[in-house]
Amino acid sequence: MSRILIIAAAQMGPIARNESRSSAVARMCALMEIAVDQNADIVVFPELALTTFFPRWFIADQEEIDGWFERQMPGHEIQPLFDLAKKMKIGFSFGYAELTDKGHHFNTSIIVDKAGNIVGKYRKIHLPGHKENEPWRPFQHLEKRYFEPGDLGFKVFNAFNGRLGLCICNDRRWPETFRVLGLQGAELVMLGYNTPAHYPPAPEHDHLQDFHNHLVLQAGAYQNGTWIVGVAKAGHEEGCDLIGGTCIISPTGVIMAQCKGLGDEVIVHECDLNLCQEIQQNIFNFELHREPDSYKLITSTKGIVWE
């Protein structure tokens, strides 16, 4: 028996610093219409999909920083996306900067069901980059300054007749992310990313950025027997080249669909969630084969233990 979810991945090209939320949302609505035309059940958008990737600038003024954040979801500029999705009966997921009532700042993503209800929320745990201004860099990566580490853990949500998990960008490089989701029976993990092609601290790895992106996504899918959808904000954004490579990966780790360019683009794949069992009940049958007593260092230490 199959359990098909038609998944669309909506890659977005660059968003300019002065581009409004309404403009980004209009682009997202256009991508959503394409996904609807292909009968998608859910469409996945990138990390921080509503604005340019603002952590690339050092901003001293807290009021200006807060201007990049959403105090309510959906706010009035985002409402048209929720309205269209509800009208078209399509679910969606996207990332945004969240400012809570208590003044906390998170890099967040949500899952919205076909009726327009937020049914899943995740706050980014692995925040890359640095805290202080580092003017030697051609662009900053100040996620550690502008966001707090997420406080919701890695959760799997019962939605869309499946077990759905979220993570965001840098999280995908950490096997712990996918394993914690895998240990909750994840059948689909959705994530967005903004990944610069140039990594200032180790530019000798620049030519490997696309490879590392797919390497970790494919490994995460296979090692946990889950579908993974990775969605880029891509292209030349405010002087910074962002990789593309948006893709939909099967539980055997195979890329089933991939974007061709670096602009706004939709790919769609019919994902059978029951395929997860082929891996989860065999080679990676956790109950049968895991040896957690031998993995204690994973949670007892943050860094390397030399003895």
The reply to whether 194 sits near ligand CDT by the rule CB under 6 A is yes
* Cβ distance to ligand CDT smaller for residue 3 or 198: 198
Q: Minimum distance from CB of 303 to ligand CDT (Å)?
A: 19
Count of positions on this chain that bind ligand CDT (CB under 6 A)? 11
Q: Minimum distance from CB of 245 to ligand CDT (Å)?
A: 11
- For ligand CDT, what does the binding mask look like between residues 118 and 137, x meaning CB under 6 A? ----------xx--------
Q: Minimum distance from CB of 152 to ligand CDT (Å)?
A: 17
How large is the angle between the packed helices 175-182 and 209-224, nearest 10 degrees?
20
Q: Minimum distance from CB of 104 to ligand CDT (Å)?
A: 19
HEC string of the chain?
Answer: CCCEEEEEEEEECCCCCCCCHHHHHHHHHHHHHHHHHCCCCEEECCCCCCCCCHHHCCCCCHHHHHCCCECCCCCCCCHHHHHHHHHHCCEEEEEEEEECCCCCEEEEEEEECCCCCEEEEEECCCCCCCCCCCCCCCCCCCHHHHCCCCCCCCCEEEECCEEEEECCHHHHHCHHHHHHHHCCCCCEEEEEECCECCCCCCHHHHHHHHHHHHHHHHHHHHHHCCEEEEEEECEEECCEEECCCCEEECCCCCEEEECCCCCCEEEEEEEEHHHHHHHHCCCCCHHHHCCHHHHCHHHHCCCCCCC
The reply to whether 51 sits near ligand CDT by the rule CB under 6 A is no
* Cβ distance to ligand CDT smaller for residue 5 or 234: 234
Q: Minimum distance from CB of 307 to ligand CDT (Å)?
A: 31
Residue with tokens 């061709």: 260
Active site residues: 47, 124, 169
**Residue from 92, 94, 154, 193 that binds ligand CDT (CB under 6 A)?**
193
* Cβ distance to ligand CDT smaller for residue 193 or 222: 193
**CA-wise closest residue to 124 among 92, 153, 157:** 153
The reply to whether 224 sits near ligand CDT by the rule CB under 6 A is no
* Cβ distance to ligand CDT smaller for residue 12 or 276: 12
* Cβ distance to ligand CDT smaller for residue 126 or 163: 126
**Residue from 21, 105, 141, 179 that binds ligand CDT (CB under 6 A)?**
141
The reply to whether 169 sits near ligand CDT by the rule CB under 6 A is yes
The reply to whether 198 sits near ligand CDT by the rule CB under 6 A is no
Judging by DSSP bridges, how do beta strands 227-232 and 188-193 pair with one another?
A: parallel
The reply to whether 173 sits near ligand CDT by the rule CB under 6 A is yes
* Cβ distance to ligand CDT smaller for residue 245 or 251: 245
Query: Which stretches of the chain bind ligand CDT, using CB under 6 A?
Result: 47, 128-129, 141, 169-170, 173, 193-195, 199
